[in-house]
Amino acid sequence: MQAIITILIAGLFTDNFVLSKFLGVCPFLGVSKRLDTAVGMGAAVAFVMVVATAITYPLHAWLLLPLGLGYLQTILFIIVIASTVQLIEIFLKRYIPPLYNALGVFLPLMTTNCAIMGVTILHFTTGLTYFEAMINAFAGGVGFLLAMVLFAGVRSRLEGNDIPKSLEGMPITLIAAAIMSMSFLGFVGLADGLFS
């Protein structure tokens, strides 16, 4: 049980995928300008992360490794992720149109999202079980959504401000992200405190 709680806290706060691990920075910086796109992107990432883990984990653990083909991990994972995303898009469009309208446009971006690929590989380098990996993917995805939503709030406040010319656009966004990342560093004490 302690392991599960640690994973949840790590994924959501202390090892936040985008603010601590630097995975998924591109969509984080590009899409977090408005709250609705931020929520859509965050939800899409969380969803694809869980589905991708569900598929890639068994493939690697129970197919590639026993056959000694572990070195095909990168290629297989990225093909699986790309195809999974395509299938999800088709499935949603056909059977759950409201969800498609909300998330659909973000799905093609998942293919080059290093957070998705990163999390599927990390599950193996850190030796998690299938169940733990699913929890980790869920926690990480929700953590990403959390970061996106919080950052959208920050950026909407930046909109109305007077920013020096050279800092306009990407630079001020990055500096805001720096401060946000610093605040998430504070969560480390949370994990420590829970298990003292």
Partner 1 sequence: MENLKQQWKSILGTTAFLLAVCAVVTLAVAGTYVGTADRIAEQERIMLAASMGRLIEADQYDVVLYDAMGAPKVYRATMDDGTVRGHLILTGGRGYGGTVYVMTGITDGVVVGVEIINAAGETPGLGLNIQDASFRAQFAGVDGSPELIRSGVAGHNQIQSLAGATVSVYAVVLAVRDALVVYAELS
Partner 2 sequence: MEKKNGLWSIFTRGIVKENPVLRLILGICPALAVTTSAMNGLGMGVATTLVLMGSTIAISLMRNAIPDRVRIPVFIVTIAGFTTVVQFLIQAFAPALNAALGIFLPLIAVNCVLFARAEMFAVKNKVFPTILDALGMGIGFTAALTMLGSIREFLGAGSLFDIPLTAHLIDPMLIMILPPGGFFIFGLLVALSNKLDKRPQSERSSGCAGCPSRVTCKNFETAKETAAEEVKA
Say whether residue 95 binds partner 1 (CB under 8 A): no
Residue 156 interacting entry, from partner 2, partner 1, none, C-beta within 5 to 8 Å by type:
none
Separation of alpha carbons 47 and 66, rounded Å: 28
Cβ 126 to partner 2 shortest distance, Å: 10
Locate 93 and state its tokens. Answer: 């469009």
Separation of alpha carbons 89 and 107, rounded Å: 7
Say whether residue 66 binds partner 1 (CB under 8 A): no
Alpha helices in 10-129 (DSSP H): 25-31, 35-59, 73-95, 97-103, 114-125
- Please give the backbone phi and psi of residue 65, each rounded to the nearest 5 degrees, phi first: -60, -50
Based on CB atoms, which residue is closest to partner 2, 102 or 105?
105
Say whether residue 125 binds partner 1 (CB under 8 A): yes
Based on CB atoms, which residue is closest to partner 1, 3 or 87?
3
Binding stretches for partner 1 (CB under 8 A): 3, 6, 10, 14-15, 20, 71-72, 75, 122, 125-128, 188-189, 191-192, 195-196
